[in-house]
Structure 1
Amino acid sequence: MAKSPRKKITADERKDWRNLPLEHWNTLSVQTMVADLNREHYGVEKYVPNRGYGYEQGVIKRVLNEYGAEAVRETIERSFAEYRPSADYPQLTAGFLLTYMLPRIMPRVLAEMETAKRRQAAESEAPSISELVDWL
Protein backbone atom coordinates (compact mmCIF):
# COMPACT_ATOMS: atom_id res chain seq x y z
CA MET A 1 0.00 0.00 0.00
CA ALA A 2 1.44 3.38 -0.99
CA LYS A 3 1.90 6.07 1.63
CA SER A 4 -0.33 9.06 1.18
CA PRO A 5 1.56 12.29 0.59
CA ARG A 6 1.98 14.50 3.62
CA LYS A 7 -0.40 17.43 3.70
CA LYS A 8 1.32 20.75 3.19
CA ILE A 9 0.87 23.09 6.13
CA THR A 10 -0.51 26.47 5.12
CA ALA A 11 0.62 29.85 6.42
CA ASP A 12 -2.70 30.23 8.25
CA GLU A 13 -2.13 26.89 9.99
CA ARG A 14 1.39 27.97 10.98
CA LYS A 15 -0.08 31.15 12.50
CA ASP A 16 -2.35 29.02 14.70
CA TRP A 17 0.51 28.43 17.12
CA ARG A 18 -1.74 27.28 19.96
CA ASN A 19 -2.96 24.28 17.95
CA LEU A 20 0.00 23.63 15.64
CA PRO A 21 2.14 20.69 16.75
CA LEU A 22 5.61 21.89 17.78
CA GLU A 23 7.32 19.84 15.08
CA HIS A 24 5.66 22.10 12.49
CA TRP A 25 6.66 25.42 14.04
CA ASN A 26 8.70 27.89 12.03
CA THR A 27 9.54 31.60 12.19
CA LEU A 28 5.96 32.56 11.28
CA SER A 29 4.58 30.55 14.20
CA VAL A 30 6.95 32.25 16.66
CA GLN A 31 6.36 35.77 15.32
CA THR A 32 2.59 35.22 15.46
CA MET A 33 2.87 33.93 19.03
CA VAL A 34 4.85 36.99 20.12
CA ALA A 35 2.43 39.39 18.37
CA ASP A 36 -0.59 37.63 19.91
CA LEU A 37 0.93 37.67 23.41
CA ASN A 38 1.74 41.38 23.07
CA ARG A 39 -1.89 42.03 22.20
CA GLU A 40 -3.15 39.87 25.09
CA HIS A 41 -0.69 41.05 27.77
CA TYR A 42 -0.06 44.67 26.85
CA GLY A 43 -2.87 45.68 24.48
CA VAL A 44 -0.43 46.28 21.59
CA GLU A 45 -2.47 46.07 18.39
CA LYS A 46 0.32 46.72 15.86
CA TYR A 47 3.37 44.53 16.42
CA VAL A 48 6.61 46.27 15.41
CA PRO A 49 9.57 43.87 15.20
CA ASN A 50 12.98 44.64 16.64
CA ARG A 51 15.28 45.88 13.84
CA GLY A 52 12.83 44.71 11.13
CA TYR A 53 11.20 41.47 10.13
CA GLY A 54 14.30 40.09 8.38
CA TYR A 55 16.49 40.47 11.46
CA GLU A 56 13.84 38.95 13.70
CA GLN A 57 13.23 36.02 11.38
CA GLY A 58 16.96 35.29 11.35
CA VAL A 59 17.13 35.30 15.16
CA ILE A 60 14.04 33.09 15.41
CA LYS A 61 15.34 30.60 12.84
CA ARG A 62 18.67 30.35 14.64
CA VAL A 63 17.15 29.64 18.06
CA LEU A 64 14.56 27.21 16.65
CA ASN A 65 17.36 25.24 14.99
CA GLU A 66 19.56 25.37 18.10
CA TYR A 67 17.05 24.67 20.88
CA GLY A 68 13.86 23.34 19.27
CA ALA A 69 10.33 24.68 19.30
CA GLU A 70 9.35 23.34 22.73
CA ALA A 71 12.20 25.12 24.52
CA VAL A 72 11.68 28.32 22.49
CA ARG A 73 7.95 28.35 23.25
CA GLU A 74 8.58 27.91 26.98
CA THR A 75 11.22 30.65 26.92
CA ILE A 76 8.79 33.04 25.22
CA GLU A 77 6.05 32.27 27.75
CA ARG A 78 8.42 32.88 30.66
CA SER A 79 9.68 36.10 29.06
CA PHE A 80 6.15 37.46 28.89
CA ALA A 81 5.57 36.47 32.52
CA GLU A 82 8.67 38.47 33.57
CA TYR A 83 8.60 41.48 31.24
CA ARG A 84 7.21 44.79 32.48
CA PRO A 85 6.47 47.23 29.64
CA SER A 86 7.34 50.92 29.93
CA ALA A 87 6.44 54.03 27.99
CA ASP A 88 9.66 53.66 25.98
CA TYR A 89 9.26 49.90 25.45
CA PRO A 90 5.51 49.12 25.39
CA GLN A 91 5.91 45.70 23.78
CA LEU A 92 8.20 42.68 23.97
CA THR A 93 9.64 41.83 20.57
CA ALA A 94 10.87 38.41 19.50
CA GLY A 95 14.23 39.91 18.57
CA PHE A 96 14.71 41.44 22.02
CA LEU A 97 13.54 38.48 24.04
CA LEU A 98 15.51 35.93 22.00
CA THR A 99 18.66 38.07 22.00
CA TYR A 100 18.66 39.45 25.55
CA MET A 101 16.26 37.38 27.68
CA LEU A 102 16.96 33.93 26.22
CA PRO A 103 20.53 33.67 27.64
CA ARG A 104 19.11 34.07 31.15
CA ILE A 105 15.94 31.95 30.79
CA MET A 106 16.90 29.17 28.36
CA PRO A 107 19.40 27.37 30.65
CA ARG A 108 16.63 26.88 33.25
CA VAL A 109 14.19 25.70 30.57
CA LEU A 110 16.68 23.18 29.17
CA ALA A 111 17.59 21.91 32.65
CA GLU A 112 13.93 21.40 33.55
CA MET A 113 13.25 19.64 30.24
CA GLU A 114 16.23 17.31 30.83
CA THR A 115 15.06 16.56 34.38
CA ALA A 116 11.56 15.75 33.11
CA LYS A 117 13.01 13.50 30.39
CA ARG A 118 15.16 11.63 32.95
CA ARG A 119 12.21 11.26 35.31
CA GLN A 120 10.04 9.88 32.53
CA ALA A 121 12.77 7.43 31.48
CA ALA A 122 13.22 6.26 35.08
CA GLU A 123 9.47 5.79 35.49
CA SER A 124 9.20 3.78 32.29
CA GLU A 125 12.10 1.53 33.37
CA ALA A 126 10.76 0.99 36.89
CA PRO A 127 9.12 -2.34 37.60
CA SER A 128 5.34 -2.42 37.65
CA ILE A 129 3.34 -3.09 40.82
CA SER A 130 2.51 -6.62 39.67
CA GLU A 131 6.22 -7.30 39.05
CA LEU A 132 7.04 -6.09 42.55
CA VAL A 133 4.28 -8.22 44.07
CA ASP A 134 5.55 -11.27 42.17
CA TRP A 135 9.08 -10.55 43.32
CA LEU A 136 8.06 -10.28 46.97
Structure 2
Amino acid sequence: MVLTIILILVIGVTAFSVSALANRRKPDSPSVPRSILPYQLDRSDFSEPDIEWIFVLFTSETCDACDLVVNEVSKISLSNVVVQNIDFAVNKSLHARYEIDSVPILLLADRQGIVQWSFAGVPPSIAISEALVNLNIIPPESGQSVKIN
Protein backbone atom coordinates (compact mmCIF):
# COMPACT_ATOMS: atom_id res chain seq x y z
CA MET A 1 0.00 0.00 0.00
CA VAL A 2 2.77 2.44 0.94
CA LEU A 3 4.65 1.45 -2.19
CA THR A 4 1.58 2.24 -4.33
CA ILE A 5 1.21 5.69 -2.75
CA ILE A 6 4.91 6.45 -3.30
CA LEU A 7 4.66 5.26 -6.91
CA ILE A 8 1.60 7.48 -7.53
CA LEU A 9 3.40 10.48 -5.98
CA VAL A 10 6.52 9.89 -8.11
CA ILE A 11 4.42 9.61 -11.28
CA GLY A 12 2.47 12.76 -10.33
CA VAL A 13 5.61 14.80 -9.59
CA THR A 14 7.21 13.59 -12.84
CA ALA A 15 4.13 14.48 -14.88
CA PHE A 16 3.94 17.91 -13.25
CA SER A 17 7.65 18.56 -13.91
CA VAL A 18 7.39 17.54 -17.56
CA SER A 19 4.30 19.72 -17.99
CA ALA A 20 5.99 22.72 -16.34
CA LEU A 21 9.08 22.37 -18.54
CA ALA A 22 7.00 22.03 -21.70
CA ASN A 23 4.95 25.13 -20.89
CA ARG A 24 7.90 27.25 -19.83
CA ARG A 25 8.57 29.66 -22.66
CA LYS A 26 11.02 32.46 -23.20
CA PRO A 27 9.60 35.76 -24.44
CA ASP A 28 9.88 36.30 -28.17
CA SER A 29 12.91 38.27 -29.18
CA PRO A 30 12.28 41.35 -31.28
CA SER A 31 12.49 40.68 -34.99
CA VAL A 32 14.30 43.94 -35.68
CA PRO A 33 16.38 45.92 -33.21
CA ARG A 34 14.88 49.31 -32.52
CA SER A 35 16.97 52.23 -33.65
CA ILE A 36 17.08 55.49 -31.82
CA LEU A 37 16.67 58.24 -34.38
CA PRO A 38 18.67 61.45 -34.02
CA TYR A 39 16.94 64.24 -32.12
CA GLN A 40 19.51 66.97 -32.80
CA LEU A 41 21.41 67.85 -35.98
CA ASP A 42 24.32 70.19 -36.49
CA ARG A 43 22.90 72.34 -39.28
CA SER A 44 26.40 73.16 -40.50
CA ASP A 45 26.73 69.49 -41.53
CA PHE A 46 24.09 70.10 -44.20
CA SER A 47 23.48 72.48 -47.08
CA GLU A 48 21.80 75.84 -46.55
CA PRO A 49 21.94 75.97 -42.73
CA ASP A 50 20.18 79.35 -42.69
CA ILE A 51 16.93 78.04 -44.22
CA GLU A 52 14.23 77.69 -41.55
CA TRP A 53 13.66 73.93 -42.00
CA ILE A 54 15.70 71.03 -43.34
CA PHE A 55 14.29 67.71 -44.49
CA VAL A 56 17.14 65.18 -44.32
CA LEU A 57 16.81 61.79 -45.99
CA PHE A 58 19.37 59.16 -45.02
CA THR A 59 19.39 56.65 -47.88
CA SER A 60 21.42 54.10 -49.80
CA GLU A 61 21.54 53.60 -53.56
CA THR A 62 20.87 49.87 -53.06
CA CYS A 63 17.60 50.54 -51.21
CA ASP A 64 14.43 50.33 -53.34
CA ALA A 65 12.28 51.88 -50.60
CA CYS A 66 14.72 54.80 -50.47
CA ASP A 67 14.13 55.51 -54.16
CA LEU A 68 10.40 55.81 -53.54
CA VAL A 69 10.88 58.21 -50.63
CA VAL A 70 13.52 60.31 -52.43
CA ASN A 71 11.33 60.67 -55.52
CA GLU A 72 8.36 61.87 -53.52
CA VAL A 73 10.10 64.06 -50.93
CA SER A 74 12.17 65.78 -53.62
CA LYS A 75 8.86 67.19 -54.92
CA ILE A 76 8.61 69.40 -51.84
CA SER A 77 9.03 72.92 -53.14
CA LEU A 78 8.74 75.36 -50.26
CA SER A 79 10.87 78.45 -49.77
CA ASN A 80 11.36 77.72 -46.07
CA VAL A 81 12.35 74.03 -46.47
CA VAL A 82 15.53 72.57 -47.95
CA VAL A 83 15.55 68.86 -48.82
CA GLN A 84 18.85 67.01 -48.66
CA ASN A 85 19.52 63.38 -49.52
CA ILE A 86 22.43 61.82 -47.61
CA ASP A 87 23.38 58.66 -49.54
CA PHE A 88 25.42 56.09 -47.60
CA ALA A 89 27.94 55.46 -50.39
CA VAL A 90 28.65 59.18 -50.78
CA ASN A 91 28.42 60.32 -47.16
CA LYS A 92 29.36 57.44 -44.84
CA SER A 93 30.72 59.92 -42.29
CA LEU A 94 27.32 61.57 -41.72
CA HIS A 95 25.61 58.18 -41.46
CA ALA A 96 28.20 57.23 -38.83
CA ARG A 97 28.04 60.56 -36.99
CA TYR A 98 24.26 60.35 -36.58
CA GLU A 99 24.38 56.56 -35.97
CA ILE A 100 22.10 55.74 -38.89
CA ASP A 101 21.99 51.95 -39.10
CA SER A 102 18.98 51.47 -41.38
CA VAL A 103 17.49 53.35 -44.31
CA PRO A 104 15.42 55.21 -45.28
CA ILE A 105 15.39 57.60 -42.33
CA LEU A 106 13.57 60.93 -42.67
CA LEU A 107 14.31 63.82 -40.31
CA LEU A 108 12.65 67.23 -40.30
CA ALA A 109 14.68 69.70 -38.25
CA ASP A 110 14.24 73.38 -37.43
CA ARG A 111 16.82 76.16 -37.78
CA GLN A 112 18.48 75.17 -34.48
CA GLY A 113 18.82 71.56 -35.69
CA ILE A 114 16.21 70.17 -33.31
CA VAL A 115 14.47 67.26 -35.01
CA GLN A 116 10.75 68.03 -34.84
CA TRP A 117 9.58 64.99 -36.85
CA SER A 118 11.24 61.74 -37.86
CA PHE A 119 10.35 58.47 -39.52
CA ALA A 120 12.19 55.21 -40.15
CA GLY A 121 11.05 53.46 -43.33
CA VAL A 122 8.51 54.56 -45.91
CA PRO A 123 6.00 56.84 -44.20
CA PRO A 124 2.25 56.48 -44.75
CA SER A 125 0.98 58.64 -47.59
CA ILE A 126 -0.40 61.44 -45.40
CA ALA A 127 2.33 61.51 -42.71
CA ILE A 128 4.64 64.08 -44.32
CA SER A 129 1.81 66.47 -45.17
CA GLU A 130 0.49 66.20 -41.62
CA ALA A 131 3.95 66.90 -40.21
CA LEU A 132 4.35 69.99 -42.41
CA VAL A 133 0.91 71.27 -41.37
CA ASN A 134 1.30 70.39 -37.67
CA LEU A 135 4.62 72.26 -37.52
CA ASN A 136 3.05 75.25 -39.30
CA ILE A 137 5.46 74.89 -42.21
CA ILE A 138 2.44 74.76 -44.51
CA PRO A 139 -0.57 76.63 -43.12
CA PRO A 140 -3.58 74.28 -43.05
CA GLU A 141 -5.70 76.77 -44.97
CA SER A 142 -3.21 76.98 -47.87
CA GLY A 143 -4.52 73.82 -49.51
CA GLN A 144 -0.98 72.66 -50.33
CA SER A 145 -0.14 69.02 -49.77
CA VAL A 146 2.71 66.62 -50.19
CA LYS A 147 1.77 63.14 -51.32
CA ILE A 148 3.75 59.92 -50.83
CA ASN A 149 2.31 56.95 -52.72
TM-score over 0.5 (shorter chain): no
Structure holding more strand per residue: 2
Q: TM-score range by the shorter chain?
A: under 0.3
Structure 1 or 2: more helix by fraction? 1
> What's the TM-score, normalizing by structure 2?
0.22
